[in-house]
A and B are shown apart, each in its own frame.
Chain A
Amino acid sequence: MSILEVKNLSFSYPDKKILEDVSFEVEEGDFVCIVGTNGTGKSTLLKLILNILKPDSGEIKIKNIPSKQFDKYEEIAYVSQKATGFNKSFPATVREVVSAGLYSKTGMFHFNRAKDKKAVERAIERVGLTEYADKMIGKLSGGQQQRVFVAKALVNDPDMIFLDEPTVGIDIKAVDSICCLLGELNTAGITVIMVTHDISSVLYHSNKVLMLSEDGKANMTDSKTFNSETVMSHLHHNHNKEG
């Protein structure tokens, strides 16, 4: 069943065309990696899907609901590229940060109850940080901090999780660990849509790849047919065009 539909989507910034007539579908349980060179609109595409930006034209449906009308934010989660750019001396524990994720479900005028606390502990456990729950988030490693933001995204038991470059700025061991975690979540039934530069995660964990090119077009392929040769030919094509 299709969980996300994008039809004829176009978007431009005042000085540059970013996406042109982009169409693709994501099925329930997919693990989609969005790849492309810098400036091809990978993060922009996520922001359009999440209604943070408005498209010039086209249609986006999440769970068959037009994205403009979609308000079940507790069913989807987003880990922003800026997530780990927070103030490292901010005095907040892992538990406090993960609890903040409950807001999209509970809204205003809500005091956390026993079941909310249980959801927080479960989300922390799912990302393997139970022993760090009372630690200040700024004291953790980059990979652990990224796990905290994944836990915050998971606290409402979403069906779908969007991640924007979750492996940027963390060491290779932590990259592997985050990718394995996302693979486990996907196996547990969560649809994962991730913008990434990391080709290994594309090859080992995803089942679909959405490749964005500099002419604003997008091409969805099966990750089994996607290999480094495809990437190189894509980059080479773009490089020749730039030249």
Chain B
Amino acid sequence: MDILSYDFMQRALIVAVLISIITPLIGNIIVLKRLSSVGDALSHSGLAGVAIGLFLGANPIISAVIFSIIAALAIEGIRRSFSAYSEIATAVVLSFGVGIAAVFSGKVPNAANFNTFLFGSIVSISEFEMYVAAVLSIVVIITILILYRELFYITFDEEGAALSGVPVKTVNFIFTILTAIVVSVAARTVGSLVISSLMIIPVACSMIISKSYFTNTILSVVFAFIFTISGLFVSVVYDLKPGGTIVLIGIAVLIILIPFRRK
């Protein structure tokens, strides 16, 4: 437990706990709506925001949040234009994010800092970033709790939800903003390239054993917590990238659980 005496490790642990709660809360809805690729598109757009933020000398997490929100809104807009081929929207936004990130990554004053956002870095979380992550995470958790019934109804049956008076467009818009926030907050610790995995793998694990929507939500948070904390410690002890370590632990658990899937 000596490693917990380091300030950077305490900060990393706090942010990791928050991320392990907020990513599956969002991931649960994304997976059940069958929109798993949206996480990838937003995380790559967030990366573009990081590159631009570093280029302009602004806080990269805040610029990532702004860029991810713009990307999320763009996905919705493009999806309406190509209603029969809505997956085009995520591919276009993902490509745009990668393009911008690639162009600006060569122009950022500190390339090493940019690289920490690709695969995550526990040592690079500043105190300010920890507070930003904490505030944004609390906003996400409270909003998801308040909209729990609406999100369940929309995810299960969007038409039925609209007919029952659920403000579907407003709730979907809020959820899009929350997704963008989560992607940006998680970028620093687990890395932009593996955020969507952290959204999806805990949910995939919980879907194997859960018996209701409620238990699926709780179990996905439990799985994400176990993967994130264990991955964080393993990465520190063996000097590995935390994002990749967290995801690989998750994949290992998923492989172990698959044979137990109910028919």
Contact = CB atoms under 8 A, between A and B. Distances in A.
B40 interface: no
B163 A92 contact: no
Given A87-B32, A90-B32, A104 B157 contact: no
A108 B207 CA distance: 27
B85 interface: no
A95 B213 CA distance: 10
B259 interface: no
A99 B149 CA distance: 9
B214 interface: yes
B153 interface: yes
Contacts of B211: 91, 93, 134, 136
Interface residues of B, number: 26
A100 B212 contact: no
Contacts of B32: 87, 90-91
Interface in B107-147: 146
B161 A92 contact: no
B169 interface: no
A78 B164 CA distance: 9
A166 B214 CA distance: 28
A140 to B, nearest CB: 14
Interface residues of A, number: 29
Which secondary structure dominates chain B's binding surface? helix
B146 A103 contact: no
Nearest to A95: B212
B213 A91 contact: yes
B163 A50 contact: yes
A90 B211 CA distance: 10
Contacts of B213: 90-93, 96
Instruction: Give 10 nearest A-B pairs by CB, closest first.
Output: A104-B164, A91-B216, A103-B164, A93-B212, A92-B213, A100-B153, A96-B213, A91-B210, A104-B165, A91-B213
B112 to A, nearest CB: 42
B164 to A, nearest CB: 4
A46 B153 CA distance: 22
A225 B157 CA distance: 39
B156 A92 contact: yes
A103 B212 contact: no
Interface of B: 32, 34, 146, 149-150, 152-153, 155-157, 159-161, 163-167, 207, 210-216
Nearest to A89: B207
A152 B156 CA distance: 13
A103 B210 contact: no
Contact of B165 (A90, A92, A96, A103): A103
Nearest to B166: A103
Nearest to B219: A91
B91 to A, nearest CB: 23
A92 B164 contact: no
A109 interface: yes
A101 B150 contact: no
Most buried by A among B149, B211, B213, B215: B149
B160 A91 contact: no
Interface string A83-123: 10011011111011101110110011110000000000000
A78 B163 contact: yes
A52 interface: yes
A21 B197 CA distance: 56
A92 B150 contact: no
A204 interface: no
Nearest to A100: B153
Contacts of A109: 146
A77 to B, nearest CB: 9
A91 B34 contact: no
B203 to A, nearest CB: 10
A6 to B, nearest CB: 19
Given A73-B163, A82-B157, 9 more contacts: A82-B159, A91-B207, A91-B212, A92-B213, A96-B213, A100-B152, A100-B153, A103-B150, A103-B161
A80 interface: yes
Interface string A128-167: 0000001010000000000000001000000000000000
B46 to A, nearest CB: 28
Most buried by B among A78, A91, A93, A109: A91
A89 B159 CA distance: 19
Nearest to A104: B164
A73 B210 CA distance: 33
Contacts of A108: 150, 167
B216 to A, nearest CB: 4
Nearest to B157: A86
Interface string A169-182: 00000000000000
